[in-house]
Amino acid sequence: MSEIDLDELRAELSDFAESEKKGGRSPRDERVIAGFEEIQRFVEKHGRLPKHGEDLDIFERLYAVRLDRLRTLPEFRSLLAALDHQGLLAGGEIIVDVSHEAIDDEELLAELKDIPDAGSITELHHVRKSADKRAAEEIANRAVCEDFEVFKPLIEKVQRELQSGVRESIPVQTMDQIKMAEIQKGQYFIVGGQVAYVAEVGEGFRTGYDRRDSRLRIIYDNGTESNILMRSFQRSLYPDKEQAGRIITNPDAGPLFADEHDADDLASGTIYVLRSKSDNPIVAAHREVLHKIGVTGGKIGTRVANASLDPTFLMAEVEVVATYVLYNVNRVKLENLIHRVFDPAQLDIEIKDRFGNPIKPREWFLVPLFVVDEAVKRIKDGSITQFVYDPMAARLVKTGLANV
């Protein structure tokens, strides 16, 4: 390239070089610009301004809040004026009256706090001075529960039932997973690693945005309580990822399955009881009372077809000695319940697989068949949660009375 060409190139690039030389934007201004550019990309992609609304994508809701803020602050309007080729700042469509105290930007930021690289999103957080007032109104601080002795036995019972498998705690992965209708008096949750009991649900009311809400009295396992809005409590379960916000199941929801089923009921699985044909000395010595108890959603024949190659079947053929068809049942939960009941009689044995690797198979229990049959009957009537197998007595006994 000739010397003239280089001079021409320098002249063409001079404006860019001058801008780079001045480069006086603060990190804060850069983040504000980056946030505005995200809004611009949204408008280019969707052909409209971002909107508020609980049923919308959380980022769209955040962009709507951010745009409202940028429109009302002169310092940011002047900063962004040269970049606003879409006329977003001067647009007549103000999505929300920003003078209203109940704008949901703080709620959105709370939901987004665990998202990486959220610095540009939260940069405008400081401009809303009413946030502290609203937080004090919506989420009251925890206080000592003066009548905790009333609730302590209930919470301790739930903790024992969680340990024994009578109850389960289900992690809340999305906001859709926990509806407000599920937050009822008497329900238990895990928030911040603590069991939380919904002791009272106040009278419902409508917020400024015509959304239903109510005040809750929540008792925590550390002897404190809070007077919190239902929507705030609902949100507290979602971002609680580090300590797993969870719903605690209710064991009194009814029997697992009935003696009869309706025509529209769905067959969901089968409890199977197997007996091994292995010549292992331990197995052979206890063959009549050693049973594999499991639950499957497929055909039993398919399940045991390759038993002799599978260490979970003791590397031997098996005999199917009993089956019980299930309707409208969660197979995983049911199998966990069965194994909890018979856990005291679980066989302790090590089997080598085809490659010589040692395996400790589970689901094998030293339990007579008639006891398994009784357990299934108790599953049907819902009383199984009160029982556990006692190996010394060779029968089911009330929880806490087993001689194990």
Roughly what angle, to the nearest 10 degrees, separates helices 331-342 and 369-381? 130
Q: What pLDDT shows up at residue 400? A: 57
Q: What pLDDT shows up at residue 55? A: 67
* Residues belonging to the chain: 404
Q: What pLDDT shows up at residue 140? A: 46
Residues contacting 378, CB < 8 A, separation 6+: 384, 387, 396
Q: What pLDDT shows up at residue 306? A: 87
pLDDT digits (tens, 9 = 90+) for 140-153: 468 888 899 989 99
b/e per residue 341-369 (b: at least 16 CB within 10 A)? bbebbbbeeebeeeeeeeeebebbbbbee
Residues of the chain with confidence (pLDDT) below 50: 1-4, 15-22, 92-106, 108, 111-140, 174-177, 240-241, 253-267, 402-404
Residue of 323, 324, 194 lying closest to 256 (CA atoms): 324
Residue of 191, 195, 185, 193 lying closest to 160 (CA atoms): 195
**Within a 13 Å sphere around the CA of 110, how many CA atoms are in the beta-carbon half?**
18
- Give CA–CA dist 333/16, Å, rounded: 65
